[in-house]
Amino acid sequence: MYPLLLVTHLLAAIAFIGTLFFEVVIWHRARLQLTDTAQSTADQAIAVRSRKVLHGVVLLLYGAGIGLAWQHRGTLSQPLASSFGTLLSLKILLALSIIGHYLLLAYWLTHARLSNARASWIRRSILGHMVLIVILAKAMFYWQP
């Protein structure tokens, strides 16, 4: 079961990070070359499609992540006892922080307080968190003091 969870988690992470990378690095600049009407239309189309795809991706990502964490519950019970446990714990904290970002985003959306600047900040912050998670994921297996 562990290899299946690991591959599912990895593929979902690739999809999630790839989507954020596209939005933050590529689309953010490319849209400036469009008219306001075209920007708005494209923004809405991309947002609708991203939400539909990312809901499933996030469920797979976090579901597989929880399954993987369960396999390491012994290590997680004493996170400071090993570098693996410490890095895994940091990775989980960052993943929980991403959930917090989405809760904040939902709040801003429901209260009509999501500005372009806030949307840009939250995307960049989540992408940064994801990049750190990837680095930690690699370090967990190679960083042994």
- Report the alpha-carbon distance of residue 32 to residue 131 in Å, rounded: 25
pLDDT reported for residue 141: 86
Question: pTM (2 decimals)?
Answer: 0.89
User: Does residue 58 sit in the same domain as residue 92?
Assistant: no
- Report the alpha-carbon distance of residue 85 to residue 71 in Å, rounded: 12
Residue 61 exposed, middle or buried by CB count within 10 Å (0-12, 13-18, 19+)? buried
Question: Which tokens sit at 132?
Answer: 């750190």
- Domain span holding position 120: 75-145
Q: Looking at 71, 92, 108, which one is the last position of a domain?
A: 71
Q: Looking at 20, 41, 71, which one is the last position of a domain?
A: 71
More confident residue, 141 or 101: 101
In tens, the pLDDT along 106-137 reads 999 999 999 989 999 999 999 999 999 999 99
Q: Looking at 53, 71, 89, which one is the last position of a domain?
A: 71
User: Does residue 142 sit in the same domain as residue 81?
Assistant: yes
User: Does residue 55 sit in the same domain as residue 15?
Assistant: yes
pLDDT reported for residue 28: 87
Is the pLDDT assigned to residue 49 strictly greater than 90? yes
User: Does residue 81 sit in the same domain as residue 53?
Assistant: no
- Report the alpha-carbon distance of residue 18 to residue 66 in Å, rounded: 21
User: Does residue 16 sit in the same domain as residue 53?
Assistant: yes
Total domains, the chain = 2
User: Does residue 48 sit in the same domain as residue 112?
Assistant: no
Q: Which of 102, 95, 98 is nearest to 119 (CA)?
A: 102
